[in-house]
Amino acid sequence: MQLGKWVVDLVLIFSLLSPQFSGSVAETTSSSTPICSEEDRASLLRFKASISQDTTETLSTWTSRDCCDGGWEGVQCNPSTGRVNVLQIQRPGRDDDDETYMKGTLSPSLGNLHFLEVMVISGMKHITGPIPNSFSNLTHLTQLILEDNSLGGCIPPSLGRLSLLQSLSLSGNHLKGQIPPTLGALRNLAQLNLAKNSLTGPIPLSFKTLINLQYFDLSYNLLSSTIPDFLGEFKNLTYLDLSSNLLTGKIPVSLFGLVNLLDLSLSYNKLTGNIPDQVGNLKSLTSLQLSGNLLTGNIPLSISRLQNLWYLNVSRNCLSDPLPVIPSKGIPALLSIDMSYNNLSLGIVPDWIRSKQLKDVHLAGCKLKGDLPHFTRPDSLSSIDLSDNYLVEGISNFFTNMSSLQKVKLSNNQLRFDISEIKLPTELSSIDLHANLLVGSLSTIINNRTSSSLEVIDVSNNFISGHIPEFVEGSSLKVLNLGSNNISGPIPVSISNLIDLERLDISRNHILGTIPSSLGQLLKLLWLDVSINGLTGQIPSSLSQITGLKHANFRANRLCGEIPQTRPFNIFRPVAYAHNLCLCGKPLEPCKKQGSMGQ
């Protein structure tokens, strides 16, 4: 969506600077200024009629007789001819805004806007149906951006007739079928984005003619076959993303002749073979993502020649020892490295990683042993993942001077320490220490000072004891996992202060007392597990207010009484309520009426 906006903005800037535009100001003041073509107006109104709901309120401005008078939002005309040449409808606001959209279809009548140069209908989310074949009539079109809608069906092969097209983006829809080979006729394309659809089959061989491509994104589809060699002929390419497909075979060596390439992502495919040593030839490269493949061999030493590389991710492959010994001045721009889950037996974190001023260090599953590492520049670290290793000691001063740390994962190690004695960085938003040998209480992690910044706490599968602390107002917690410990005492009534909580797991502890009715105030809760404790009393009816709950488990307590007879509680599987004293009501047996035993 950002690409589309950038391209359209650029087109509009050029149009504003053109001599044709400079003379239009005088024209607009004259009585001879043409109003918009009746054919264009009718085509736009048929599109408006095909939209059943418009919460953007864009189309509510399409009311005047003249669609070129500036009052029709998103519509622009050539001032000398009165013909519509720009249709730009983009959802305003944030990407996570669920309230702003259009619902309907793309009317084939838009294909009658014969002088259209730019069409952008993006981010509307609920525009469905096919891309009309009539769009192939828009022979003046240079930009076609239909991203982030819900368009379905196949990509019309007839789009290959749009010979002036420089930018084509159909990403973020529900398109299926193969990529039409006819798109290879679009030799003026600089940007091609078909990402985030359900496209199948190979990358068409006809694409070898698209030598002017600068931006090429086919990620998040179901494309198969190998990566074609001809991509190495796209010498202007700066961005190449083929990630999250079903591509097989080796990485073509030809790709490493793309000296202008800034971003290369081939992650999450089924690629095999080595990382070619020629990777060091990508002098401009800033981001290299090869994770989630079946790559073998060593990480080549030639990556040390990549002077501009700041992001390196080769995680989740079959890469093996030894690691290259990177010179002190190698990869000088590196900020983020992820080598997790390969066949590496590092033992310790290499000096060239510990000594760099890095932002992210992810070395999960790399067979690290002994003490936690000491970083030369701890103040720069934002994210650390050393989980699934064999680390045992060194927590006492590990967080010292980590003033920028936001996320840390040290789970599934053999760390043994008193959790109440550690001092966490003030900016920390996520801490995952599950499956270690931790003891002590939660008083340091959950208190007035630390709980305001933390969003994720996972200390499950340890030996933590004591009570669950009180929760203060203003907490940002979204995930709280205290499961499988030795925690005792009640669930505090103040748990209602965790108004953003989405996941709560306190299972497999020694928690007693009743489930507080204040738990029903956690309206964002999606996951609740209080199983295998000593809870008594009823499941509070107030929990029926949590209508978005996807999973709940009350198993193996001492609960009694009627299960809340509202969705979703009355449709969870019976096992969620098993092994209690006397729970009843759907999905279990009906409750017995009071006094029925004496009749």
Q: Would you list the domain boundaries of the chain?
A: 226-344, 417-594
* Inter-residue contact 464 to 419 (CB < 8 Å): yes
Q: Does domain 417-594 have CATH number 3.40.50.1820?
A: no
The Cα 586–Cα 574 span in angstroms is 8
Q: Which candidate, 371, 421, 420, 375, places its Cα nearest to that of 401?
A: 375
Q: Which candidate, 470, 428, 419, places its Cα nearest to that of 450?
A: 428
Residues whose CB falls within 8 Å of the CB of residue 534, separated by 6 or more in sequence, listed in order: 510, 511, 512, 557, 558
**CB neighbour burial string for 75-101, b if at least 16 within 10 angstroms, e if fewer:** bbbbbeebbbbbbbbbbeeeeeeeebb
Render pLDDT for 331-353 as a digit per residue (tens, 0 to 9). Answer: 999 999 999 999 999 999 999 99
User: Which residues of the chain fall short of a pLDDT of 70?
Assistant: 1-34, 93-97, 448-451, 594-599
Same fold, 226-344 and 417-594: yes
Mean per-residue pLDDT over the chain, rounded: 91
Render pLDDT for 82-115 as a digit per residue (tens, 0 to 9). Answer: 999 999 999 876 666 678 899 999 999 999 999 9
* Inter-residue contact 160 to 139 (CB < 8 Å): no
Model pLDDT, residue 452 = 74
For tokens 């669930």, the residue is 491
Overall fold of domain 226-344: 3.80.10
List alpha helices for 97-166, DSSP H: none
Confirm whether pTM is higher than 0.85: yes
